[in-house]
Amino acid sequence: MTAMPLETLAHLDVLAQQSQLGTDGIRGWILDNVLPLLLLTVAILLLWLGGGKGDNAGVMRRVGGVLVALAIVGIAVTNAGIDIGTFIAQLFSTSG
């Protein structure tokens, strides 16, 4: 194990306190790059698996599953889960 001088550790501590660390950059990169690539891959696979064989019903079942998955991703990305949960809870609550 290598030893670090105490000044280096103090300098790193000051840098860590001054910087705004977060996951916004990674989240934005995934939303801008990885998600469209995954959607394109799924669309090509759906066309390749079912379109050439004439299995339109099978393709539509898969498309339904993809739409459900996209809805879940959309809820997760927009942080709308809290609002949806509040709305559903209000449907079942008796207090006005």
Mean predicted confidence (pLDDT) in 15-44: 77
**What per-residue confidence (pLDDT) applies to 43?**
78
Average pLDDT, the chain: 77
Mean predicted confidence (pLDDT) in 14-33: 74
What tens digit of pLDDT does each residue of 51-91 get?
Answer: 667 777 777 887 888 888 888 888 888 888 888 888 888 89
**What per-residue confidence (pLDDT) applies to 74?**
82
Mean predicted confidence (pLDDT) in 26-53: 79
Q: What angle do CA 60, 61, 64 make, to 5 degrees?
A: 85
**What per-residue confidence (pLDDT) applies to 28?**
82
Half-sphere exposure of 26 (CA within 13 A, CB side): 3
